[in-house]
Amino acid sequence: MLAVISDTHATDDHRLRGRTLDAVRSADAVIHAGDFYREPVLEALLDVNDSLYGVTGNNDDAALRDRLPGERVVAHEGATIAVRHRSRSGATGLALFGRERDADLVVFGHSHRPEFDDSGPVPLLNPGSYAQPRGNRAAHAELARTADGLSGRLVTPEGEPIEEFAVPVRDA
């Protein structure tokens, strides 16, 4: 299972709780789509799961910017996942970012709003913010490999499913 989180916005702790903590702890790998905020948050997350693939967000400090890229591509169980915090061009820019990287899925953060959008050329996933939802539902995403690609769901820290979705993988 792949856990996907974003927008922690903390200074010294990962702020994981409930189902989100369980998902991150038990995941084969974790993607963090930026805005850890301070370097001790990255360290705290690595203590929970050291298979963490993060990118920097617009609020991350210089120490995080020295350690993490602004964008990356993660290969997970045959799927190619392009990750960045945001795009000033919105969904169009995110889809272009994914297409340029031959991605099956683009993961992004920034808005704190959990959402899955497969209406464009590349599916887009924002896991929301499990720690600071800013008027949205606190959430994270969980992805599992299936015969056809990835099966995913957005989930609250209390374990309540928000949305289920599927991501086809070209080489499935």
Q: What percent of the chain has pLDDT over 70?
A: 99
Residue located via tokens 């997350």: 45
Name the pTM for this structure.
Answer: 0.97
- Residues 6 or more apart whose Cβ sits within 8 Å of residue 37: 8, 9, 10, 11, 59, 60, 61
The answer to whether 61 touches 73, Cβ cutoff 8 Å, is no
Instruction: Give counts: helices (H), strands (E), the chain.
Output: 4, 11
The tens digit of pLDDT for each residue in 109-136 reads 999 999 999 999 999 999 999 999 999 9
Length of the chain, please?
172
CA 58 to chain centre: 15
- Residues 6 or more apart whose Cβ sits within 8 Å of residue 33: 4, 5, 6, 7, 54, 55, 57, 83, 84, 85, 107, 108, 109, 110, 126, 127
Residue located via tokens 């928000």: 162
The fold for domain 2-168 equals Purple Acid Phosphatase; chain A, domain 2 (3.60.21)
pLDDT band at 3 (very low <50, low <70, confident <90, very high): very high
The tens digit of pLDDT for each residue in 62-93 reads 999 999 999 999 999 999 999 999 998 999 99
Mean pLDDT (the chain) is 97
Mean pLDDT of 40-68: 98
pLDDT band at 41 (very low <50, low <70, confident <90, very high): very high
* Residue 88: per-residue pLDDT: 87
What is the token pair recorded at 70? 């602004």
* Residue 76: per-residue pLDDT: 96
